[in-house]
Amino acid sequence: MLILEVDRINTYYGKSHILQDVSLKVEQGQIVALLGRNGAGKTTTLRSIMGLTPPRSGAVRFKGQDIQRCKPFEVARKGLGFVPEDRGIFPDISVLDNLTVAAKQSADGQRRWSLEKIYHYFPVLQRLRDNKGQNLSGGEQQMLTIARTLMTNPDLLLLDEPCEGLAPQIVNQVLFGLIKSLKEQEGVTILLAEQNARFCLGLADWGYLLDKGAVQFDASSEEITSNEEIQRKYLSL
């Protein structure tokens, strides 16, 4: 089932035309990757979907409903969960409080994510539940940000540069396995924006390559991985 459709959106920062006719689709249960070098438009695409930087034209449809003119809190209520690049945890309260303050029902009234399930997938957060957010390492903060967003019971998870600032060992041994488990065991649908193309292509079903604010190529992860010309042109591989 098609859960998200972005149809030829154009987004501006002031007079600067950042996204140019960007279109993409996400099917339920998929991981879809937005790939490209720094400044390609990946983060702006996620912000446009969430209503943080609304497009001036085009359409964003979530579960068949036009959400382009919705405010960010309305988009979140409809079932989109956004994990920003800067993480945005509450630094002065505990891990447990960060999680419980975010807890809410899904748009269909279900609570698929509980503290018990969060601790199953994020055991480090159970161990650190009484620690303040500001005392966590970068990797622990990233885990908390993802877990806190899951506590909102989203139907679609938007991940913006989850590898940013993390040691390669954490990315490869912790974050990769976590995202893979969320998809395979829980059926979490994810739109993933990330510069680390190898990380993305190892997880995603489909990839969109952005450059200069436009989609230049899209294909399955397997096709992108095998296309050396495309990798040289648009990816840092």
Asked whether 12 and 20 are in contact (CB, 8 A), the reply is no
How many CB atoms are located within 10 Å of the residue 225 CB?
A: 17
Average pLDDT over residues 55-83: 95
Residue 106 burial (CB < 10 Å; 0-12/13-18/19+)? middle
Number of independent structural domains in the chain: 1
**What does residue 135 show for φ and ψ, rounded to 5 degrees?**
-95, 5
Q: Is the pLDDT of residue 237 over 60?
A: no
pLDDT in tens, 46-68: 999 999 999 999 999 999 999 99
What confidence tier does 202 reach under pLDDT thresholds 50, 70, 90? very high
Alpha-carbon span 195 to 160, nearest angstrom:
10
CB 82 within 8 A of CB 104: no
DSSP string for 177-235: HHHHHHHHHH---EEEEES-HHHHHTT-SEEEEEETTEEEEEEEHHHHHH-HHHHHHHS
**89 neighbors 148 (Cβ within 8 angstroms):** yes
Quote the CA–CA distance of 64 and 213 in Å, as a whole number: 25
Q: What pLDDT score was predicted for residue 120?
A: 93
Residue 164: pLDDT band (50, 70, 90) is confident
In 29-110 the beta strands, taken as DSSP E runs, fall at 31-35, 57-62, 65-66, 80-83
Mean pLDDT of 100-117: 83
Q: With bands split at pLDDT 50, 70 and 90, how would you rate the model's confidence at 236? A: low
- The model's pTM is 0.92
Q: What is the DSSP letter of 34?
A: E
| Structural domain containing residue 98 | 2-234
Query: Sign of torsion, CA 114 163 217 237?
Result: negative
CATH number at residue 201: 3.40.50.300
How far is residue 91's CA from residue 36's CA, in Å, rounded to a whole number? 31
